[in-house]
Amino acid sequence: MNRIRTFMLMAAMVALFMGLGFMLGGRGGMAVALAIALAMNFFAYWNSDKLVLRMHRAEEVGPDHSLWRIVAPLAERAQLPMPRVYIVDQPQPNAFATGRNPENAAVAATTGLLRMLDRDEVAAVMAHELAHVKNRDTLVMTVTATLAGAISMLGNFAFFLGGNRQNNSNALIALVAMIVAPVAAALVQMAISRTREYGADAMGAEISGQPLKLASALAKLQGAAQRIPNPVAQANPAAASLYIMGQGAGGVRDSLFSTHPAAENRIAALEMLADTPLAPRGGGSVSARPDAGYPARRPSALGLPRKPDKRNPWG
């Protein structure tokens, strides 16, 4: 279902781009905007891992580090090449994955995350990041960013072209294109990001075999993300979409203006997965007691009553 939603959202983005392009500049204007956006994102796609790791001042660790020893069996279960593993010296507990494909992937965790979570919770978080790698979410979001950038450029073209025309109808079209289309593209882009987070949660739970450990980790990370600042995300707001927990991802509804779903919805989805026995990839789990086989409709693992799913339709 997450893949279907992603496909439908990307189809909506393409339709918006094509419609706006034909309306403003025909095939020529559409081609120019797409070419510029492709050029802007090509460099970022091939160098995203280096840029992101340098931005966080991440330090690579090897087999002698506990985090590397957690990631290695998870990568094997996920049937992925062993990614490079990094530590980020930052108090806010968080983690992220980067790299253009599984062969060039890197995963990172902050020192705050390693201090706050127990070993199985760290494993569940890193399984989530490996799921992003396996799902090639970096490629998906790069394509989405390219289309969103092209739509924004068409909006800019509309501003300059429409401003030089006296026809009121042309001016109105330019105004709509300049304001509405980029906002719509940004909303679709964030909706795709939220969908990919749900997909990574589900696959991460499958890789680790411990959905409740990921749920408890998200509950801890949610509170800490609100209390402890993230200097990298504050200086570079675009980096917020990288992390397992984004700023403002609390509440009981998925915000249309957030790159991450509401933590409560993610936790509820993981608890539903725990009600269904999981078969960890590659056999076994990080813990001797995977979170499978619980009776249906049990209370929340966090001691809270069960609540209905309050996602928006494009959760």
Q: Catalytic residue positions?
A: 129
Q: Could you tell me if residue 303 is left (phi over 0), alpha (psi between -120 and 50 degrees) or otherwise beta? A: left
Q: Could you tell me if residue 233 is left (phi over 0), alpha (psi between -120 and 50 degrees) or otherwise beta? A: alpha
- Report the distance separating Cα 295 and Cα 297, nearest Å: 7
Amino acid at 314: W
- Report the distance separating Cα 265 and Cα 151, nearest Å: 31
- Report the distance separating Cα 3 and Cα 73, nearest Å: 26
Q: Are 74 and 109 in contact (CB under 8 A)?
A: no
- Report the distance separating Cα 121 and Cα 204, nearest Å: 12
User: Which are the contacts of 24, defined by CB distance < 8 A and separation ≥ 6?
Assistant: 154, 157, 158, 161, 173, 174, 177
Amino acid at 137: D
State phi, psi for 288 to the nearest 5 degrees: -75, -15
Number of H helices, E strands in the chain: 9, 4
Cα torsion through 55, 202, 196, 92, rounded to 10: -30
Q: Could you tell me if residue 81 is left (phi over 0), alpha (psi between -120 and 50 degrees) or otherwise beta? A: beta
